[in-house]
Structure 1
Amino acid sequence: MPPLLRRIYAARGAHDIDAACPRLSGLLPPDGLSNIDVATRLLADAIERDARILVVGDFDCDGATACAVAVRGLRMLGARDVVHAVPHRIAHGYGLSPALVASLAPLQPALLVTVDHGIACHAGVAAAKALGWQVLVTDHHLPGPRLPPADAIVNPNLPDDAFPSKALAGVGVMFYVLLALRARLRAAGRFDGAAPDLGTLLDLVAVGTVADLVPLDANNRALVAAGLRRLRAGQGCAGLRALAEVSGREAARLTAGDIGFAIGPRLNAAGRLEDMAIGIECLVCDDPRQAGELARMLHEINAERRAVQQSMLDDAQTALGRLPSVEPVAVGVCLHDPDWHPGVVGLVASKMKDALHRPVVAFAPAAPDSPQLRGSARSIPGLHIRDVLAAVDSRHPGLIERFGGHAMAAGLTLARTDLAAFEAAFRAQVEAMLDPALLRAEIVTDGALAAHEFDFVHAAQLRDAGPWGQAFPEPVFDGEFAVVDWRIVGTRHLKLTLRMDGDPRPLSAIHFGGWRDVAPAAREHLVYRLAPDDYRGGDAVQLVVEYREARPAAGADGKV
């Protein structure tokens, strides 16, 4: 292994090849998941009886890919009557609600399967059971103090669940259920010849896992790496191939970063502004022409989403700018605007969290003129945001109507009239639970690159050595450079020509969003990624700048 990669992997706790590059052969077995036998028995019985199975997805990328994996996988395993549905963010709200169940009643399923939600949907599960349906919940969100009345729940984060990895995304949980179901059906002699190859679903598993920002532990990295190999080989489903094309990504060089910044947002946009049914149809479609049309629709919706998001971010910045300059920013920030869109508040909360390095909750009306607010919370490392909401709920019963989520992201609903009370309670709880030292933002890098490492060979190695993501971050480096030349690209980006001390070669760099209305200093300290320069092609490389700050220029004697 090249010395640079050896150093990068070791810094992330991977000290041998199996930990650095996990393979599918090392996947954790599904029998460690609680209730997996009951879940597969429900599915096998429904397949045996040709009973209708209704898969209910969620309106984010993880939920959409999980729904597509469930529909495709169940059909591969012999189910002949599989239908799917997804809640509409405005009409139904999050998850399996009684309103959604009522709208699905004409489908008359024998078995309803939730993917990427359900663990907090007590009323919705009860409504489905009241109609005589069996309910299987597959989810990965953290459970509350009581569980919904489902026939079976598969969730690696259930109390006392023995599955070693708690980081599976919703799509990963559903994929594991299918693995266990195939084993049950194989043991029962249901297949003539070889069992179906569920590995063909790994492109979808990879996209949902990366887009949901779950930690990329060894198990998840094995799943994502295998899915990326399928996508790079042109073996992905028609919808994902079309999404890569409309986003301007070359399939043969797709990375986890391309999923996170190009494919995932286009799928998510449908659930944020329109109807995630468009995204799911794109993923279950096998006709390349139809998939291309749906992908172009998602591309256009994403462009609209970006415009809405920028407008909301401008509003948030303006609101913060009204605070007196002598007043410190609160340790916990709540933002609200009656004109904001509920589908985009999560992105606003995430951007403002990054800018302020504070936990942020952004609220919007659940629907136009609605008395309810939908909130999306984002946290900083060291503060479990769902635990904060649980503590607020415990100390102020009834203040939060419903909530759920993870350590770094959560969602909630409350009455508009309770916003001020929630803001006070939220700030107080954050102050009680957050170590003030964590409010100082830090950038952790992989140190400096040697002069001979600024070349295409090392840039390509870094690109292909992933997948990189949460808990297994993409390598970033830092160092001081002389700024030889610079220019503005577009309206916000900064193109730089740099030079290292002792090396006459010019280095090309780009800082997206880096124009601050002030010329760069003659000498700057940069945090950057080394990447192949696809725009110039060939063996060109560039530094993708993540952060920069001015450094004093050297004097005539070369000293600073």
Structure 2
Amino acid sequence: MKADEEDPKHLLWVYPNYKPDWCESIIGEFNIHPVTAQILVSRGFSTFEEIHSFLYAKLPNLLSPSLFMDMNKAVERVIYALQKNEPILIYGDNDVDGITGTTLLVEFIRLLGGTAYYYIPHRTSANSSTITDAITFALEKKCTLLITVDCGITASKEIEEVVKNNIDVIVSDHHEPTDKIPHCVATLNPKLINSTYPNRDLTGVGVAFKLAHALTNELVSSGKISSSTIDLKRFLDLVALGTVADMGALKGENRVLVRYGLRQFAQTKRIGLLQLMEICEVKPNTISTTDIASKIAPRLNSLGRIADPEKGVELMLIHDSTAATHLAKELDANNTKRQQIERHDSDDVKAFIHAHPSLLDQKALVLHSDKWHPGIIPIISARIAKQYNRPTVIIAVEGGIGKGSIRTIPEFPLLPALRKNTDLLLNFGGHDYAAGLMIEEGNILKFKKSFIECANQVLNNDDIVPKLHLDARVLFEDLTFEFLDSMQLLEPYGMGNPPPILYTDVTQTWPPKVIGKMHLKIYLEQNERMLEGIGFGLSGYRSQLTKKNLNLQIAFTPHVNVFLSKSSIQLLVKDFKIK
């Protein structure tokens, strides 16, 4: 990352909300460190019950799957299929969430003795068809039931075509529904307008897990299987992988599922997943959400972006060690190829913005080209949205059709703006903060004008200034190994529960060193205690820090750095202010 890509001078620090009495109550009730208590205050916890659930919730605290509307209909139809030996087709989206959810249901149905096939569409080109492309496959395999995973809620017309072929459909999805709900046997989606399920934040694999959970409950209670037939914990590695990869909010039961899912990696029997972790240099016993997001998920996602996503399910289900090794290496090679394409297209997008600085006079970015790979644009849109802190639409055009990926900021939910432009779009779907669309090339400029106008009306100048939300003020004397160990209570970190950012006043004892061309090693002192800071991507600002004994306020996340078997406390510096 170049220094000008994330200029700390432009970050707006948002200081914590201090409530001393409430903080003292938390310390007394839970016997936790004052800084940890302040982090909970800063993040809006207002009752002991909320805090206890956040810190200590366990698997038995998961919500009942029966709270889903239509779950009883879905369970009844699947059990009927199992009793009649009907082949079942699991149709999943081509990202990690879809791949893991598909794997989960295929494996689950096969463990029950049923026949399950899987189909993951290739959508690396600007092809707007969904689900109907599986009809031929379903008919060949004599499937009379199709279950979607992580897709289907916006595919009413396509599902109608499937049903015309005497194939029943169960939709399991977590995306926001559009106006018309598909006509099918059951629709499982926590985001339905009249949903009775309390957790809107489940991802696609989470909904698939809930279906497996409900089926297990019914089969056990009716005496069709014993309680020892299936241990649902075996699927939690898949749930954690898909939830983290899809940036599911790590609150409520998502947090419980991921916490226990990370532990399940140490017990996993999935040969393909173990081979993939070995290639990623990730240890099953110590895997973190960061390992999933930065190492495992990109390799699986590369299949849906530039190759064959069905190989992701194949890798998760495979029992042959040699074949698993070969397939894991293929994924790694695909990821390398994906990175090359991504670098090329990303540089092209950045060069265009640099050559047209007036684009940043607007509060949204809408860019399109026939040079960009449609499988790569989600990565680029996310990066550009973060870099410029604006709603960003990146559209790859192919054969007169544009495939768009959209990412945004908290102040600008996407779906109202997309619904306003329905007449210009072939289709769209997703969430308020990440969505996709299909559009005819001739409508792109009209859509661009309308989308940017909408952003300009909704957002003010402060909204598009990148912000740094601080959790608590600390002193160096607070930063002990014991304190860092106690902060593990707040893990796992991820979307909706980022690593805490602390701040304090320090003296820089001598000028920083540039390491790895892009990063700064900073030498900091407070009350005669010295600590090192690492500022990733901040090397361009060394010239501001050349004075000795410079007084700074720093924002950072502390962590334990292990080098040559020796542990030390290091500060990951996010930003600084010269005092």
**Same fold by TM-score, threshold 0.5 exceeded?**
yes
Indicate the residue corresponding to 2:497 in structure 1: 472
Deviation at 1:519, TM superposition (A): 3.8
Instruction: Kindly indicate whether the alpha-carbon contact (under 8 Å) linking 2:244 and 2:289 is maintained by their aligned counterparts in 1.
Output: yes
Q: CA deviation at 1:150?
A: 1.6
CA contact (8 A) 1:230 1:236 kept: no
Letter in 1 for 2:373: H
Retained in 1: the 8 A contact 2:315–2:327? yes
Counterpart among 270, 283, 289 of residue 303 in structure 2 = 270
Q: Distance in 2 between matches of 1:137 and 1:542?
A: 47
Shift of 1:321: 1.3
The structure with higher relative contact order (CA 8 Å, sep 6+) is: 2
Alpha-carbon contact 1:77-1:182 (below 8 Å) kept:
no
Is residue 2:157 matched to residue 1:132?
Answer: no
Check whether the contact 1:95–1:118 (CA below 8 A) recurs between aligned residues.
no
**1:10 CA drift (Å):** 4.0
Which range is displaced more, 166-175 or 437-446? 437-446
Counterpart CA distance in 2 for 1:91 and 1:102 is 20
Q: Counterparts of 1:328-477 in structure 2 under 5 Å?
A: 328-365=360-397, 367=398, 370-393=399-422, 397=423, 399-463=424-488, 465-477=490-502
Q: CA deviation at 1:549?
A: 3.9
Letter in 1 for 2:560: P
The residue aligned with 2:26 is none
Instruction: Tell me whether 289-298 or 128-137 shows the greater mean CA deviation.
Output: 289-298
Deviates more, 1:476-485 or 1:149-158: 476-485
**Is the counterpart of residue 545 in structure 1 residue 557 in structure 2?**
no
2-structure distance, mates of 1:105, 1:483: 72
Alignment of 1:468-547 (within 5 A): 468-481=493-506, 482=508, 484-492=510-518, 494-505=519-530, 507-516=531-540, 518-519=542-543, 521-522=545-546, 523=550, 524-546=552-574
Matched, 1:8 2:33: no
Q: Secondary structure at the match of 1:336?
A: strand
Structure 2 Cα separation of the partners of residues 490 and 436 of structure 1:
35
Q: In 1, are the aligned partners of 2:55 and 2:489 still within 8 Å (CA)?
A: no
| Higher relative helix content | 2
Amino acid in structure 1 at the alignment position of 2:404? G
For residue 551 of structure 1, what is the amino acid of its counterpart? I
Contact 1:456 / 1:539 at 8 angstroms: preserved in 2? no
The aligned amino acid for 2:557 is R
Give me the whole-angstrom Cα distance separating, in 2, the residues matched to 1:234 and 1:72.
17
- CA separation of 1:28 and 1:447: change in aligned 2, threshold 3 A: same
Partner of 1:318: 351
Contact 2:220–2:226 (8 Å) recurs in 1: no
The answer to whether 1:254 aligns with 2:278 is no
The one-letter code matched in structure 1 to 2:157 is A
Cα displacement (A) at 1:429: 1.9
Q: Determine the structure 1 residue equivalent to 2:329.
A: 296
* One-letter amino acid of the counterpart of residue 33, structure 1: F
Shift of 1:275: 1.5
Select between 265-274 and 450-459 the one with higher mean Cα deviation: 450-459
**Aligned position for 1:115:** 149
State whether structure 2 residue 110 is matched by structure 1 residue 75. Answer: yes
1:63 aligns to what? 98
Partner Cα distance (2:124, 2:64) in 1: 39
Q: Once the 2 structures are TM-superposed, how far is the Cα of residue 333 of structure 1 from its aligned partner?
A: 0.7
| Residue pair 2:501, 2:557 contacting (<8 A) in 1 also | yes
Q: In the TM superposition, what is the alpha-carbon distance from 1:295 to its structure 2 partner?
A: 2.3
Q: What is the Cα deviation at residue 528 of structure 1?
A: 2.0
Match of 1:305 among 338, 344, 349: 338
Q: Secondary structure at the match of 1:540?
A: strand
Q: Distance in 2 between matches of 1:122 and 1:390?
A: 16
State the one-letter code of the partner of 2:578.
R
Change (3 A) 1:460 1:329: farther
Distance 1:442 1:36, change over 3 A: same
* Matched residue SS, 2:259: helix
SS at match of 2:268: coil
Deviation of 1:464 after TM superposition, in Å, equals 6.2
Please list the CA deviations of residues 93-139 of structure 1 after superposition, one character each: whole Å capped at 9, or x if unmatched. 46733234345542231111110000011232122112211111100
Relative distance call for 1:292 and 1:386 in structure 2 (3 A) is farther
Q: How many residues align?
A: 539
**Structure 2: gaps of 5 or more residues:** 1-30
| Residue of 169, 185, 192 corresponding to 2:219 | 185
CA distance in 1, matches of 2:375, 2:461: 31
Q: What is aligned with 1:207? A: 241
Q: Would the alpha carbon gap of residues 246 and 9 (structure 1) be closer, same or farther in structure 2, given more than 3 Å must change? A: farther
Amino acid at match of 2:572: V
Q: Give unpaired runs (5+ residues) of structure 1.
A: 553-560
Change (3 A) 1:442 1:497: closer
1:244 deviates by 2.5
What is the match of residue 47 of structure 1? 82
> Aligned pair in 2 of structure 1 residues 491, 124: CA closer, same or farther (>3 Å)?
farther
With the length of structure 1 as denominator, give the TM-score of the two structures: 0.90
Q: 1:452 to 1:252 in 2, by over 3 A?
A: farther
Match of 1:557 in 2: none
Letter in 2 for 1:161: S
Structure 1 residues 447-500: Cα deviation after superposition (integer angstroms, max 9, x where no partner):
3332133344433443564111222222122234416353333343x1414212
- Note the C-alpha offset of 1:218: 1.3
**Distance in structure 1 (CA, Å) of the matches to 2:395 and 2:247:** 21
* Separation in 2, partners of 1:343, 1:411: 12
CA drift of 1:550 comes to 5.1
Residues 32 and 105 of structure 1: is their aligned pair in 2 closer, same or farther, counting only changes over 3 Å? same
**Structure-1 residue corresponding to 2:27:** none
Question: Residue 254 of structure 2 corresponds to which residue in structure 1?
Answer: 220
State the alpha-carbon separation in 1 of the partners of residues 207 and 151 from structure 2: 11
Aligned to 2:52: 17
Q: Normalization by structure 2: what TM-score?
A: 0.88
The change in CA–CA distance for 1:218 and 1:267 in structure 2 (over 3 A counts) is same
Single out whichever of 103-112 and 211-220 deviates more from structure 2.
103-112
Distance, in Å, in 2 between the alignment partners of 1:285 and 1:483 is 55
Question: Partners in 2 of 1:489 and 1:105 — Cα distance?
Answer: 59
SS at match of 1:443: strand
Instruction: Give the Cα separation in 1 of the matches to 2:126 and 2:347.
Output: 29
- Which one of 230, 235, 240 corresponds to residue 268 of structure 2? 235
- Offset of residue 300 of structure 1: 2.2
